[in-house]
Amino acid sequence: MHMRWETPLLAEELYRAAGAVMKSNGMLPVPHNYELCFRYLQGTAPALVKAFDDCVQHNRAADPDFTLALLQQHVGPGVEISQITSTLELHMQQLVDALATTSDSSAAFDSSVSVATLRLSQAEVPPELAHLINSITTATQRMVDTNRKLDMQVRSSVQELSELRNKVELLRTESLVDALTGLANRRSFDNSLEGAGSEARGGQGPLSILMCDIDHFKKFNDTWGHQTGDQVLRLVARCVSGCVKTTDVAARYGGEELSVILPRTSLADALNVAERIRALVAQRQIVKKSTGESLDSVTLSIGCAQLRPGEEAVDMLARADACLYEAKRSGRNRVCSEKSSPSENEPVTRKNLA
């Protein structure tokens, strides 16, 4: 099944070819499927080519979870999708610019010929030159007509490529954002955490993290329905976003759990951020949209930890998660943090600091 290309494909050609492969196999147009098809068409990884052919043969290509696992198995769990789409966008922008220049040149030539033809028709020309001028004018007019057709094709191509670029950008955005809350999704969170951990270990300042859980969230869903539960999630997400900087990463970690990555932030400063979030959420009142009925207040339990020398970011995450559950056990609606010293492993709690 594999189509081996004798010469490297341009990015936009590869994009179209990947789209054709996905369409023929019922694959969703999501970034990791494009990445998988890109590498498949390039044919530089024989094991991936064989695995994808087997996937198609057994009708598994339409399952996005299966194709993601296939890509991660043969490329690695940290495969970067955005670099592929960024490169594609760059090529498309260059092509759009080139086509637009061609279109402008064609229009200018068309205008110049029209003016020249008009002047010649009005000038007094010796009879012996009339035949030659008519021949040149006829040939030039044919060229003008050809240029007009080219101009229409160029403008159509520019529009098509612009729409393609917008689609790529939309797909990339959708692959990184949680649709319900507008926060970063779990995949984006994992990538950001890995990058922030590398920067912190490289001496770019301290790194802290918050793990947040909505208290009694199941009660909202069971009592008022899932739409109200979604309303609660969106409200909390807005509160979290309003308390962090643009360099921080607020994400929906899963279910009713949110997380905030705080680069260049000490444990003490992270505690202040956590307390602002907790207090802001506690002040909000949920009003059921369909009836205007005032419901219970929402509260958050938050765990906080800071990266320790030599450890991985996932270890810090696990300690923040442990602090979160300590906050739950201690009565909820509070911030619980590990102590500043790595040798002091017992979490401490802070409540109503504001």
pLDDT at site 116: 56
User: In the CATH scheme, what is the code of domain 186-350?
Assistant: 3.30.70.270
Cβ atoms 267, 306 nearer than 8 A: yes
From the CB of residue 287, how many other CB atoms can be counted at a distance below 10 Å? 12
Closest CA to 247 of 257, 260, 256: 260
> What are the structural domain ranges in the chain?
11-75, 81-176, 186-350
* Residue positions counted in the chain: 354
From the CB of residue 317, how many other CB atoms can be counted at a distance below 10 Å? 22
pLDDT at site 109: 56
Cβ atoms 254, 186 nearer than 8 A: yes
Secondary structure letter of residue 256 according to DSSP: T
pLDDT at site 23: 85
pLDDT at site 100: 55
From the candidates 35, 256, 275, 338, give the one annotated as an active-site residue. Answer: 256
Virtual torsion, Cα 12, 14, 19, 22, nearest 10 deg: -160
Two structure tokens written together for 14: 């590869």
Strands 300-306 and 294-297 turn out to be unpaired
Closest CA to 347 of 315, 317, 314, 325: 325
| Nearest-angstrom CA–CA distance, 237 and 342 | 31
pLDDT at site 344: 38
pLDDT tens string for the chain (354 positions)?
444 443 444 555 667 788 788 888 888 777 778 788 888 887 778 888 899 998 898 888 888 888 888 888 887 665 555 445 555 555 555 555 555 555 555 555 556 556 555 555 555 555 555 555 556 556 666 666 676 676 677 667 667 766 766 666 666 666 678 889 999 999 889 989 988 999 999 888 999 999 999 999 988 888 888 888 898 999 999 999 999 998 999 999 999 999 999 999 999 999 999 999 999 999 988 777 667 777 778 999 999 999 999 899 999 999 999 999 999 999 999 999 986 433 334 444 444 433
Cβ atoms 332, 351 nearer than 8 A: no
pLDDT at site 315: 94
Closest CA to 257 of 217, 288, 285: 217
Q: Is 160 a catalytic residue?
A: no
